[in-house]
Structure 1
Amino acid sequence: MRKAYQYQLLPTTEQKTTMERWLDMLRLQYNWLLAERFRWWEENRCDINACPLICHLPELRDNPDYYSQKRSVVPLKSNRPWYKEIYSQVLQDCVTRVKLAFDRFVKGDSKGNRSGRPRFKGKNRYRSLTYPQIDISDIKNNRIHLSKIGWIKLVLHRPIPDGFKAKTAIVTKKSDGWYVTITLVAESVPTSSVEIIPTDDNSIALDLGLEKFAALDTGEFVDIPQHFRHSEEKLAKLQRKVTARKKGSRARKLLNRRVGRLHQRIARARKQFHFETAKQILQKAPVVFVEDLAVKNMSKRCKPKQDEQSNYVANGQSRKSGLNKSIADAGWAQFIEILSFKAESAGGKVVKVNPKNTSQVCSNCLNIVPKTLKERWHDCNRCNLSIDRDTNSAILIKKVGLGVSLTIKRSRVKPREAHAVA
């Protein structure tokens, strides 16, 4: 089992200065390594038929791959002795970050999805440093030992569980201070209990939405808190003040810090709500059925539209931007991730089902009942079922999770037997 615990650090002024200096040096090294990869990629990549058969080819440079850039750390410390101050494994982790960022851009992940072009880190944009190897003995009496920094106080608000070993430590600078994230691993602790077979009695389904955060198949609802919406006016006021201050001034920096703290408070409140909601749902049943939502696609911008004269016309993005903001404020993806983690820790599981037709089919007779997005009530003319639209969807999600297929197109016309009797 693998866990990650985050604790707040209470470093001294000298330790803060050291870590901030490390971050700035690591940022410069990150940018230099990334620029070296971009330079090779731009100068040496070429289509197979881009050159004539007879031409002069200059000698190609060696590819600055992961291992060659790791070997460059040794001459770096000779040419720039101040880099000797940084712990060697922390400096080598900078090479790993460059490799991951560049590989996602060139090759993509295991599913073939590629990320955008990696950006160079500006000042105060490199906010974390990683210790790839630490031991549980480095944490004693509300203190943690970090090589070449020393013992740092931390708020040990929850003890490290027995049987776990500390693997890595990530020190992060946030708007309200310094934090350390410790990765814990225990091979003897099972990740889950015996495989649970979903049944109608031991399972529950929920439908995520924006009018209500979640609707359960039992008819219960979870209200949506809208953390960002409630702080939007205060945030806009602070950002207007930031714009009015001179760039680079101390007043602008202080206001930016207040903006960052407000964003952090919103994110923490949303995360706390997700944890509490996940706990309440798992107390009802160990198996939870949810829709397999593509949240990233749902919050994309609208494609531009053009008329016959190739002039751009309205594409509905002004309305869609408000919907995108509400989807981001709800945090569906984060909630499903937290729900899955807590279910696995408790011996349950979360099952994702295909969301196709779960909002257009009657949960009682499985008849197709077309509805627009504005219609929030489900009325079936065939079986006279009249319930909330989201509750109907939650019941359908549970049926799909238990093996009921919704792919058959059913007509709303009465069957032949009914006409014959009539």
Structure 2
Amino acid sequence: MQTFKFRLAPSKSQRTKLLQALELCRWVFNETLATRKKAWEQEKKSITRFDTIKLLPIWKAEKPELSLVYSQVLQEVCTRVDLAFQSYFRRVKEHAEKAGYPRFKGYGRYNSFTYPQTGFELLENGLMLSKIGAIKIIQHRPIEGRHRVKTLNIQRDAVGNWYACFACEVEPRALPFNQRSSPVDDLAVGIDMGLATFATLSNGVSVDNPRFFRRAEYELGRAQRRYSKDKTPKRRKVIANIHQRIANRRKDFAHKLSHELVSAYGVIFFENLSIKNMMKNHQLAKSIGDAAWRQLIQYTQYKAEWAGGVCELVDPRGTSQRCSGCQTVVQKDLSVRVHECPSCGLVLDRDLNASLNIEALGLESLGAPAFRRGE
């Protein structure tokens, strides 16, 4: 499955219809959640997804405007509530710290609705949506598997832009390295994530930290101060635009870097970092959040799987303290940026030493010799 996302350019009347559809879907979501919650609290009775779908005709009789939304879109809302409960019960079973009971959606907190297979049609210059009409779509690339579109998700972002997301069944494409006989060798790489340097590869290549949030922090602070004095929708939208621009730049950076990694290496290893715990360090939390290491790892994982490569996570314990040359543990705090081994005399950058250890651990986990580079 692959998703193709395109910007929509609805007219003023179409925007009104889209917003109306969102609000009606929000109403159905809250009503479905309330019905299931009430049935359990009062009768200890579990309401299924099919039970709530059967209630839709009754709700339509009470609230005629629901007929302005395509019927299967409303059914999909009931499915969302059911999925929220399934996730909740799974977290309870796993004894998660916060199970997170499904919550009601307030105004402006419901931002998408889904057409499951029917109710839409992609035209040459537009997108036909049932109950809404033909909307202009900015199709900047062809849709692969166009005749195998499974769902269409209509989304609204924080600044009011609309997008169409097509989930399609497509055939995976192998990248050039898959044509070689064995990807586990000189095409394997370990990557150490950091703050001074965003990523250090075991072959010595380093990637600078772009610090997108830090670079926009002054502009964002000024916009927030203005909003605190004049809390109008216009001022709020300025703040939302800045946040969106930061997120877009970060996403673009992660996509490009992950594509370069998957194109160049058959086997990629990252540390399995506990970022949630690392964020508890209030001195580094903002910089760690700005780096968004997990985003790069996720993008690399699905692209490697798509291309037939391997992207694995290894245990991060000791990767910075252990010597990559002789495996002696050399204790050093975070301020020490150079690794100096008293046993074998190896001197190199701390992050490079860690990336070599990550590569060795990864190769060992795959059953390959631990040291392949240069031997």
- TM-score (norm: length of structure 2): 0.89
- Percent identical among aligned pairs is 35
CA contact (8 A) 2:192 2:271 kept: yes
Does 1:96 pair with 2:95? no
What's the offset of the Cα at 1:102?
2.7
Does 1:264 pair with 2:244? yes
What's the offset of the Cα at 1:264?
0.8
Larger radius of gyration: 1
What's the offset of the Cα at 1:195?
11
378 and 262 in structure 1: CA distance in 2 versus 1, 3 angstrom threshold: same
Which secondary structure does the structure 1 equivalent of 2:35 belong to? helix
Does 1:226 pair with 2:211? yes
RMSD: 2.5
Alignment partner, residue 416 of structure 1: none
Within a 5 Å distance, the mapping from 1:9-408 to structure 2 comes to: 9-41=8-40, 43=41, 60=43, 62-108=45-91, 113=96, 115-134=99-118, 138-161=121-144, 165-174=148-157, 175-186=159-170, 189=172, 199-246=184-231, 252-299=232-279, 301=280, 320-403=281-364
Deviations 1:282-307 (A, max 9, x none): 343221111122323332x4xxxxxx
Please list every run of at least 4 consecutive aligned residues from structure 1 whose deviation after the TM superposition is greater than 4 angstroms: 109-114, 188-198
Within a 5 Å distance, the mapping from 1:410-421 to structure 2 comes to: none
What's the offset of the Cα at 1:67?
1.9
Alignment partner, residue 6 of structure 2: 7
What's the offset of the Cα at 1:103?
2.9
What's the offset of the Cα at 1:191?
8.1
Deviations 1:201-224 (A, max 9, x none): 121111111111100111121000
229 and 123 in structure 1: CA distance in 2 versus 1, 3 angstrom threshold: same
- Write the letter of the residue equivalent to 2:247: A
Q: Distance in 2 between matches of 1:263 and 1:284?
A: 32
- Write the letter of the residue equivalent to 1:121: K
What's the offset of the Cα at 1:39?
3.0
Q: Distance in 1 between matches of 2:341 and 2:134?
A: 67
- Write the letter of the residue equivalent to 2:242: L
Q: Distance in 1 between matches of 2:173 and 2:261?
A: 23
CA contact (8 A) 2:192 2:200 kept: yes
Q: Distance in 1 between matches of 2:172 and 2:183?
A: 24
297 and 9 in structure 1: CA distance in 2 versus 1, 3 angstrom threshold: same
Aligned residues: 362
Which secondary structure does the structure 2 equivalent of 1:359 belong to? coil
What's the offset of the Cα at 1:366?
0.5
Deviations 1:291-326 (A, max 9, x none): 122323332x4xxxxxxxxxxxxxxxxxx2241221
What's the offset of the Cα at 1:74?
1.3
Q: Distance in 1 between matches of 2:87 and 2:213?
A: 31
Q: Distance in 1 between matches of 2:228 and 2:246?
A: 22
183 and 109 in structure 1: CA distance in 2 versus 1, 3 angstrom threshold: farther
- Write the letter of the residue equivalent to 1:285: Y
25 and 283 in structure 1: CA distance in 2 versus 1, 3 angstrom threshold: closer
111 and 198 in structure 1: CA distance in 2 versus 1, 3 angstrom threshold: farther
- Write the letter of the residue equivalent to 2:356: I
Q: Distance in 2 between matches of 1:17 and 1:404?
A: 55
CA contact (8 A) 2:191 2:270 kept: yes
- Write the letter of the residue equivalent to 2:137: L
Deviations 1:48-81 (A, max 9, x none): xxxxxxxxxxxx3643332211111111111211
Alignment partner, residue 373 of structure 2: none
364 and 109 in structure 1: CA distance in 2 versus 1, 3 angstrom threshold: farther
What's the offset of the Cα at 1:164?
5.9
Deviations 1:132-191 (A, max 9, x none): 1149x92121311211112111100011125761111111112151111110113x5578
340 and 383 in structure 1: CA distance in 2 versus 1, 3 angstrom threshold: same
Q: Distance in 1 between matches of 2:59 and 2:70?
A: 13
Which secondary structure does the structure 2 equivalent of 1:402 belong to? helix
Q: Distance in 1 between matches of 2:125 and 2:242?
A: 28
What's the offset of the Cα at 1:13?
1.3
Q: Distance in 1 between matches of 2:214 and 2:32?
A: 40
Which secondary structure does the structure 2 equivalent of 1:363 belong to? coil
377 and 242 in structure 1: CA distance in 2 versus 1, 3 angstrom threshold: same
- Write the letter of the residue equivalent to 2:192: D
Higher helix residue share: 2
Which secondary structure does the structure 1 equivalent of 2:185 belong to? coil
Alignment partner, residue 310 of structure 1: none
